[in-house]
Structure 1
Amino acid sequence: MNRYLKLVNMEIHRFRYILASLMVVTLLSQCGSLIWTLQRVVSAKEKGLSQAEVGFAIPKVLSFPWAIVNTKVWFIILPILLSITVLVLYSIIIWYRDWFGRSTFIYRLLMLPSARWVLYVSKLTAILTFVLSMIAFQLVLLVGENMLFKTIVPAGMRTDSTFVEASTIIPVLDTLLPKQFEQFIYSYGLGIIGVIVIFTAVLLERSYRRLGILYAIGYSAACVGVILSPFILGLDRSNSYWYPSEIYTMELAACLLISVISVCLGFWLLRKKITV
């Protein structure tokens, strides 16, 4: 347990500057675009300008969800998609940096006096910690941005709303910040499975090198096919043989199957195929 915690701490320490940079980009992009948009609209309303004069629609009263919708390029596309892209790429880099680092650091990790599966689990824990940190930061940021909205917009020009209403109206935020626990488990459960599949694909490539690239691509494609197959059955409305509850059960079984196979295969590759 002590070595596991040390490995997790090491991974977090290595990623801390990138994580902090993502948070700063998110903060500047969201708050900057929100302030700029609100000041433009408030100024236009105070001057009594029409939509034709300012070039954009001016609502009678402003709301926090409206402000987010009208700044979605800088509020969502840049910071959130950038963060998702970086975290997905780091799920691959988190293994390769050990192989291509100074003095092939992976060999030192594999020679630690502990089971090799601890290394796998520690890297997975680190990735989950980064994701949850960004989610928590976004939640706190939404609360602060709602307060910023109330500060900039006079009471007579706004209708008060919560950040929960704002997250509901934006599909991306609704997916990242689900209101129901079941939806949270579903969304992030698929994310965890995706990270596990990426880990196993990387270990396949590292174990078999050039041939391993084909193994990794084939394995990833097979996992995606298995997970999507129940969805495809559900989309076929002409075939009423399967009930929605049965499709849901098949999807759950497919996810569990992929998870178990990927984890077991990853542990086996670390133990048997990757040697020092």
Structure 2
Amino acid sequence: MNRYLKLVHMEVDRFKYILAGLMSLTLVCQFGAVIWMTMSAVSYRKSGAWRNGGSMDYSYSSSPTGNLSFTDVMSTTQSIFMIPILLSIGVLAIYVFLIWYRDWFGRNTFIYRLLILPTARRHIYFAKLTAILIFIFALVSFQLAVLPVEKSIFNLIVPSDLRDPSYFSDIIYSNPALGMLIPWHFDSFLVYYGIGIIAVIAIFAAILIERSYGRLGILYAILYLGISVILLLFPMFGLGLDDVNGYLYPNEIYTIELVMCVVVMSVSVWLGCRLISKKITV
């Protein structure tokens, strides 16, 4: 366990500057958007132009009196909020591959040094998987922590007589980018992040297949990912979930989907651990 934790620490340490950069970009984009939009709206509201049909359009205020709420600001900054969120998703998606391949193609083929460590090779696999999960939930937690700070900034800028209350659920629903990152319902959270984790595990297995069998491994890896996708999508689209005259009830289809998810995840973990332990050599 101690060696496993050291491997996790090593993987986190290698990504820490990129993680810090993504968090910094999130702060700059979101704080900037909230401050600029809020100050512009307050200035427009105080000028009284909204009463006289002024040329500036701040119709995002949902209050008939023209008062502002943090929910209104969040709903109008969707595109800016989406920039760091989509960038973070893209960087993590690329790093799922880089976390393995840079060990092979980096200086002095670092993977060989990892494979000869006096520890079970499966620890390398689980350390990399744990690191990816840490990065994902660190960014999600950071976004959750930033929202109250942004709301506090909004409250500092907007006078109390011009401010309407906002609730956390309304804030999430008002911005699709946040709704995608932080599903409000627990079952949606399990579905989104569960499928994402299964995808990471399947990609790990495909990478190790490719590394184990060389050029032919590329074909095997693509075939494995294709089969995994088919198994995951077939219950939802092949069994007629939206067909009222379907042979199976929706609950039965969801059960089959859950079984397929468990099968793909279990097989991928087993295959990945077996390949790195038995097939890959130094």
TM-score tier, shorter chain, comes to over 0.9
1:172 Cα deviation from its structure 2 partner? 3.4
Aligned counterpart, 2:252: 246
44-53 vs 250-259, greater mean Cα deviation: 44-53
User: Which residue, out of 90, 98, 105, partners 1:100?
Assistant: 105
Matched residue type, 2:202: V
* Distance across 1 between alignment mates of 2:167 and 2:20: 27
Tell me whether 1:63 sits opposite 2:63 in the alignment: no
Normalised by the size of structure 1, how large is the TM-score?
0.94
CA contact (8 A) 1:7 1:122 kept: yes
* Distance across 1 between alignment mates of 2:229 and 2:35: 41
54-63 vs 127-136, greater mean Cα deviation: 54-63
Aligned counterpart, 2:6: 6
Report the identity percentage. 51
* Distance across 1 between alignment mates of 2:151 and 2:167: 7
1:56 Cα deviation from its structure 2 partner? 4.5
* Distance across 2 between alignment mates of 1:218 and 1:154: 60
CA deviation digits over 1:224-264, x for unaligned, max 9? Answer: 11111122134442542111110110110010000011111
Quickly say closer, same or farther: Cα 1:234–1:44, change in 2 above 3 A: farther
224-233 vs 88-97, greater mean Cα deviation: 224-233
Matched residue type, 1:99: W
* Distance across 2 between alignment mates of 1:140 and 1:89: 25
Deviation >6 Å, runs of 4+: none
- Give the number of equivalent residue pairs: 275
CA deviation digits over 1:51-92, x for unaligned, max 9? Answer: 6511442522212121111011111x2010111111111011
Aligned counterpart, 2:278: 272
User: Which residue, out of 151, 156, 166, partners 1:161?
Assistant: 166
CA deviation digits over 1:73-131, x for unaligned, max 9? Answer: 111x2010111111111011000111111111101101111211110000000011111
Give unpaired runs (5+ residues) of structure 2.
none
User: Which residue, out of 212, 219, 223, partners 2:224?
Assistant: 219
152-161 vs 128-137, greater mean Cα deviation: 152-161
* Distance across 1 between alignment mates of 2:252 and 2:174: 30
Give unpaired runs (5+ residues) of structure 1.
none
Report matched runs for 1:89-238 at 5 Å. 89-232=94-237, 233-238=239-244
Matched residue type, 2:41: V
Matched residue type, 1:193: I
253-262 vs 36-45, greater mean Cα deviation: 36-45
Aligned counterpart, 2:80: 74
* Distance across 2 between alignment mates of 1:37 and 1:158: 14
